[in-house]
Amino acid sequence: MSFLTRLSTDTRYLLFSFPLALIGFALLVVGFSLGIGTAVIGIGLPVLAATLAVARRLGDIERHALPEILDQRAAQPAAPVPPAGPGIGPRLRVALGSGRSWLDLLHGVVTFPVTVVCSSLTFAWWVGAVGALAWPLYGWVLRGAIPDYVSLPQLIDVGGGYVTDSAFYVACGVLLAVTLPPLVRGLALTRARLAQIILTAAPMPAPFDGPGPMMAPPPAPVAGAAPGMVR
């Protein structure tokens, strides 16, 4: 992947993840709280199942984006299969008993603050770099349109005037532009690694219900048989 492609991919991943994470966080928190609060009267169980379905869909979107960021394949766990028979009870048991769906719900809640920080830093760095580098193109408009205009160089006592301001802001823009690619890459990897840990982790195994057909106890030894003759 080329340098510009990598930068645009990481930037798109970080910026577009914010609205998705914001909507998902609101839906998951409200759905989980409502489901737990009304579970006693039975209404909460379908609400929890619907919330887990939303979490599952959001998790699938994130899992689909991980390979492009991590440059490696991401595990795609199978979705819980509802029973074929009629009735809502078995379907609710399958939906609520899916460890993968609960991990998807955990991802939607845990990664939200991380997404806010990563997306905000990415947006601020891009705006700062572009705005500072382009200041000579619009700075003269600001100086003429704003009465008593005071620039940042004047505030820190490094001089004033259009030329001084332009040189100062361009230097700041170059610094931001140089640090932008490693910053964006680090933020994208941080968020993607956290998502990978939660979304591709193996859920807790089902409880042990006794030996299955492949775990039958060995046959009892035959009376009078020599040791080691029993197969």
| pLDDT of res. 230 | 47
For residues 43 and 25, the model is more confident at 25
Q: Residue 131 belongs to what domain range?
A: 3-205
Residue 196, token pair as written in the block: 């990978």
Least confident range from 98-102, 141-145, 213-217, 220-224: namely 213-217
Q: How many domains does the chain have?
A: 1
pLDDT per position as a tens digit, 74-120: 766 666 666 665 666 667 777 777 778 899 999 999 999 999 999 99
Helices (H) and strands (E) in the chain, counts: 7, 0
Neighbour count for residue 16 (Cβ, 10 Å): 12
Looking at residue 208, its pLDDT comes to 37
Domain membership of residue 216 (yes or no) is: no
- The pTM of the full predicted model, rounded to 2 decimals, is 0.77
Q: Tens digits of per-residue pLDDT, 146-178?
A: 777 777 787 787 777 888 888 999 999 999 999
Query: Quick one: residue 223, left, alpha or beta (phi over 0 = left, psi -120 to 50 = alpha)?
Result: beta
At 154, the amino acid letter reads: Q
pLDDT at 49 over 60: yes
CA dist 60 and 48 (Å) reads 18
Has residue 225 been placed in a domain? no
229 is a domain residue: no
Tell me if 23 is assigned to some domain.
Answer: yes
Residues 101, 80 contacting (CB under 8 angstroms)? yes
Q: What percent of the chain has pLDDT over 70?
A: 79
Spatial contact of 70 and 189, defined as CB atoms under 8 Å apart: yes
Asked whether residue 150 is assigned to any structural domain, the reply reads yes
What phi, psi does 53 have (nearest 5°)?
Answer: -65, -40
211 assigned to some structural domain: no
Q: Determine, yes or no, domain membership for 188.
A: yes
Scored b (16 or more CB within 10 A) or e, 5-14 reads ebbebbbebb
